[in-house]
Amino acid sequence: MFTSGLQHVAAMYAGVVAPPLIVGAAVGLSGTELTFLTGASLFTAGIATFLQTLGVWKIGARLPFVNGVTFAGVAPMLAIVDTTDDKADALPIIFGAIIVAGLLGFIAAPYFSKLVRFFPPVVTGTVITLIGVSLLPVAFGWAQGPNPRAEDYGSTTYLTLAAITLVVVLVLRRFTTGFLKQIAVLVGLVIGTLIAIPFGVTDFSPVTEADIVGFPTPFHFGAPQFALAAIISMCVVMLVSMTESTADMLALGEIVDRPADEKTIAAGLRADTLGSAISPLFNGFMCSAFAQNIGLVAMTKIRSRFVVACGGGFLVLMGLSPVAASLISVVPRPVLGGAGVVLFGSVAASGIQTLVKAGLEKDNNVLIVAVSLAVGIIPITEPEFYHAFPETAKIILDSGISTGCVAAVLLNLVFNHIGRNRDADTVTAPMEPGEEISGTAGAKAAHVH
């Protein structure tokens, strides 16, 4: 449980600390304040993970589900910072908007969960595949180095370290059994970090400079402020986050053989939204499900929610102890990238497995999958595709998971629900090599129609 929980922390650590580092730098925080903001995000991610895995009353999906700071809120939070005259007010305005958005989302959760009936396998399989495909560029970015603006970004050294980590994980998964096989990702991260030391890529300074104990003081940056424009912006982000969390719960339910029903999704969304509402009290940001950890569950086959709760305990401890938090930060980004290829690719593979059960022999379902995947991949292949749209619209459009999910749901309604029943429409069976157009092949085609 200890090592498996630590694996979950290692898989999601970079995703949790990136938003506070980006927003904190935009506000102009000092190094000490940045460390505080990062620790607060780890602490609140742990609390949100507890709510999701262990649950209280009707709150929490009680699935092996990790919660952390959602990256969907970074762009609108930066916009809030840019439009705030006094940068000292930026974080209080952001925190106030998140509190309101979280509370409204909590109230809306049971109604939002009723949308689950619009998520048959053809939709869930498409969305799960998109989750994995959307995460893979993150792993590729990690593999190229920590700083995209640096001259050595994408150097052979970084890519080699990522490749070595990937090979170590694959070798352990292929040639070991039992416990060692289950912690292959964690062992790969350790070995990759050790190999990176001679290359000068591993930085131990965060450990030496960090304090042993530190508590995220409530409202450290000031009392929350409530600005209408900021609240509307974060409410939109909350809707995007709830859509992605619903898709993630459906994906995880398939992986652990416990399909997420309406009740489970409502409880999971309550945990997401309540965690988001509480987070600003301790200087944290909006929380949402972490899709990368779904890949870890899929790969290791460890389905216990208590293992993930253990990971949540590590997050809380790291939030309370900057030294502990800095230990994970020692792992170089290229090493994380190598492991991420396996983790995120496993999510996409799970989506493909679901699509196999989705009835792709039907023309309607083939079209749903084809168009939805294309729509969802647009932000990945052409990041500036929606550059002419308003910033509020881009919050949704720039999320391939959200746009692909909406497209799949709408297309499924149009092709499989509205109007006459077309379930009988199937793909014409291809002829076997050497078959004549008439005779056997013709009979087969006639039978299919």
From first to last of its 449 residues, what are the pLDDT tens digits of the chain?
888 888 788 777 766 777 887 788 778 877 677 778 888 888 998 898 999 888 888 898 888 888 888 776 776 787 788 778 788 888 999 999 999 999 999 999 998 888 777 778 888 788 778 877 877 887 898 899 888 888 889 899 999 999 999 999 899 888 887 667 767 777 888 899 999 999 888 877 767 776 777 777 888 888 898 888 788 878 877 887 787 788 788 888 888 888 888 888 999 999 999 999 999 999 889 888 877 677 778 777 788 889 888 888 888 888 888 777 666 667 888 988 898 888 778 778 878 887 887 888 888 889 999 999 999 899 888 888 988 888 767 766 777 777 888 888 899 999 887 865 544 454 444 444 444 433 444 443 434 43
Q: What's the sign of the alpha-carbon dihedral 255, 259, 262, 266?
A: negative
Classify residue 259: in a domain, yes or no.
yes
In a domain, 60, yes or no: yes
The answer for residues whose C-beta is within 8 angstroms of residue 15's C-beta and 6 or more apart is 68, 69, 71, 138, 290, 292
**240 lies in some domain:** yes
- CB within 8 Å of 219: residues ≥ 6 apart: 95, 281, 283
Q: Is the sign of the CA dihedral 152, 153, 158, 160 positive or negative?
A: negative
Q: In what helix (H) or strand (E) does residue 69 lie, and over which residues does it extend?
A: strand 67-69
Residue range of the domain that includes 48 = 2-416
With residue 288 as reference, give the H or E element that holds it: strand 287-289
Phi, psi of 68 (to 5 degrees): -160, -175
Give the model's pLDDT for residue 305. 87
Return phi, psi of residue 349, to 5°: -65, -40
CB neighbour list of residue 154: distance below 8 Å, 6 or more residues apart: 144, 145
- Residue 103 pLDDT: 94
Backbone angles phi, psi at 359, to 5 degrees: 75, 55
pTM (2 d.p.) = 0.66
In a domain, residue 434? The reply is no
Neighbours of 393 (CB within 10 A): 12
> Is residue 100 situated within a structural domain?
yes
Is residue 289 classed as helix, strand or coil in its secondary structure? strand
- Between the alpha carbon of residue 200 and those of residues 93, 98, 195, 208, 323, the distances in Å are 40, 40, 10, 17, 21
In a domain, 233, yes or no: yes
Please tell me the predicted confidence (pLDDT) of residue 12. Answer: 74
Quick check: is 64 in a domain?
yes
**Would residue 65 count as lying in a domain?**
yes
pLDDT confidence of residue 102: 93
Q: Which residue has the tokens 């290229």?
A: 334
Q: How many domains does the chain have?
A: 1
